[in-house]
Amino acid sequence: AVLDVDMQKRKKISDHMMGVFFEDISYAADGGLYAELVQNRDFEYSKEDHRGWTATTAWTSNKPVVIDSCNPISKNTPHYAVIARRDTLYNVGWGGISAAPMQKYDFSVFARNAEGGNNVLQVALIGDDGTVTAKGRIKLKGHVWQRYSLPLAVDSKATRQNVRLALTTLKDGCIDVDMVSLFPNDTFKGHGLRKDLAQAVADLHPKFVRFPGGCMSHGQGIGNIYHWQESIGPWQDRKPAKNIWSYHQTRGLGFYEFFQFCEDIGAEPLPVLAAGVPCQNSAADSDGYAGQQGGIDMKDMPAYCQEILHLIEWANGDTATSEWARMRARAGHPKPFNLKYIGIGNEDLISTAFEERYGMICKAVKDKFPEITVCGTVGPFHNPSSDYIEGWKFANAHKDIIDMVDEHYYESPGWFLHHQDYYDGYDRRGPKVYLGEWASRGSRVENALVEAIHLCNLERNGDIVDMASYAPLFCKEGHSNWNPDLIYFNNDSITRLTPSYYTQKLWGTTAGNEYIYSRLQIADSLRYRVAASIVGKLSADDESAGITPGNEAAKQPVGQLWLKLVNALPYHLEIAVNGLAIPNGTECYGFTGAPNDSQVEPYRSSIKGSALSLPPYSV
Ligand code: AHR
């Protein structure tokens, strides 16, 4: 085949297209990215979260575990445990706490002497065989809730094993405990996230991180809408909630941590908030999907709009003038986070109830913060659904308040091959596209190849497709709500980076702000399984690729070009390039594998000679 490159024919494209979609689905937050090792640390699990769950789930004792709610530490976390005199309370973690020799931990707890006096709390890690691998003591003072901290270290002679956390009252009298916490002392940048998982996200070089969902954002029923301000501040004041995916959110991983994580990896935060309606506009408060259409009562909508404006003020405000900004400072971040984007709505049913609330919120944001990019929604994509069509109609009619819209599609590999011109005809005068959730169904090499082809097509349309995020990001083994995901993990480590992960990583590290036109000369019957895309940053006066200082891709040198080639054919392909000189020794990154392989070996080589040689099934 021959690739004809026309260096004179170029267009400006988005240099911040590649991002990640974080949703607390499949145990992505508690038990996942959030490094907390104690499960149900707040004793707030209930049957609303999951059938059969109670405040004692994940806790055991020799006697029944006693839960009380009299004079709690905070009204938002009303339950706590009472450890009887000379008794022990155990937490089993997320199916065991994996402890290695010399591993260090930070333990903390809110505690008080239930009957006054001065008791002593012994904290230990105990293996399945009864071996104590780490131990320490805390002297409790008085009858008032106080937070106590204790460093713990696993004995150097211990074997690596699953342990339980054991809390024992050493003297007479009961002890009340809440917010029982155990973190490894080496979290990502010291900010409480699991190092391996956070690093795997950082390695994708995302230009943005979307959070907290997905359906998590709008929740199941009005009472389950995610209110961002309930997820910040001291742990005990955060409001735990039922997770729409049938488990519990402690909100330990809340908006502060999301913003901090974005800063730590040089990505823009993209918070997505409900458009005043819950999932599918269900008016039901719990067990949603009642079929009624509804949303937040219109009389409460001005307050809900304020809540969203407060988020922008909290993230960007000046501590000299704003109490919201001072809350951010008190949490440890006096400097503004410099929020640029906000998402409103997620795959909502485009009903009247939705439109009136959605329009009201988008207008409120644009009126007060015209500099913020408002990212709307166009409903679920089902080939395409009427919601999708109506959603686009609404966005086009309101482009003064909606800058971009969030499209979602999960389709077969064949769909991607047969929709390569999908965005070619999109109206460039309307809102831009944020492809907020997308994936081909499956997690094999074939999926990674068609996704790479789709990314070539997105780049060709990078003047209208501004941002894109594969979804979902994380899945804990044994807790899957959704397949495929990009990163699979267990308590100890990452168990699988899917082939799609490597496609995302390749595109994440090769951003450009100009698209250079090229044309493949290849037989028509082969064309749809081969794709090319050339992007780069060609002149110094261009806006810099990447956005946030610290982002490696932002340091892309002027004049650097990325030529991306996908060969989804079963045989070797030689490609001669016309119109672009590729010097000997040019670096080449990619992967290959059999279509059904579930893992790939990434490779790195350097180019020799003038023709490019692509192995079968390779990027
Ligand atoms: O990504 C998983 C789910 O897919 C999201 O929560 C939802 O928005 C979509 O239906």
Residue ranges of domains in the chain, CATH in brackets: 18-32+189-521 (3.20.20.80), 59-184 (2.60.120.260)
- For the stretch 502-525, pLDDT in tens is 999 999 999 999 999 999 999 999
Q: Say yes or no: CB of residue 482 within 6 Å of ligand 1.
A: yes
Does the pLDDT of residue 473 top 50, yes or no?
Answer: yes
Q: How confident is the model at residue 283 (pLDDT cuts 50, 70, 90)?
A: low
Q: What is the DSSP letter of 65?
A: P
Cα–Cα distance between 248 and 231 in angstroms, integer? 13
Q: What is the percent of the chain with per-residue pLDDT over 70, rounded to a whole number? A: 95
185 neighbors 107 (Cβ within 8 angstroms):
no
Residue to probe by mutation, ligand 1, list 437, 469, 470, 474, most atoms within 8 Å of CB: 437
Tell how far CA 13 is from the center of its chain. 25
How large is the average pLDDT for residues 176-181? Answer: 98
Strand order in the sheet with 611-614: 561-567, 530-536, 514-521, 2-12, 573-578, 611-614
Tell which atom from ligand 1 comes closest to the C-alpha of 245.
6
Cα–Cα distance between 555 and 572 in angstroms, integer? 34
| The one-letter amino acid at 468 | A
> Which two three-digit tokens encode residue 26?
């499949």
Strands 2-12, 573-578: pairing kind: parallel
Q: What is the percent of the chain with per-residue pLDDT over 90, rounded to a whole number? A: 87
Q: Distance from the CA of 381 to the center of ligand 1, in angstroms? A: 11
Cα–Cα distance between 566 and 597 in angstroms, integer? 17
Cα–Cα distance between 509 and 15 in angstroms, integer? 11
CA Rg value for the chain: 26
Contacts of 599 (CB under 8 A, 6+ apart): 496, 497, 498, 499, 593
Does the pLDDT of residue 619 top 70, yes or no?
Answer: yes
Residue to probe by mutation, ligand 1, list 243, 482, 485, 487, most atoms within 8 Å of CB: 482
Per-residue confidence (pLDDT) for residue 552, from 0 to 100: 43
Does the pLDDT of residue 598 top 90, yes or no?
Answer: yes
For residues 133-156, b (16+ Cβ closer than 10 Å) or e, as one string? bbbeebebeeeebeebebebbbee
Query: Which residues, listed in sequence order, are joined to residue 408 by a DSSP beta bridge?
Result: 437
545 neighbors 554 (Cβ within 8 angstroms):
yes
How large is the average pLDDT for residues 266-275? Answer: 98
Phi, psi of 608 (to 5 degrees): -120, 135
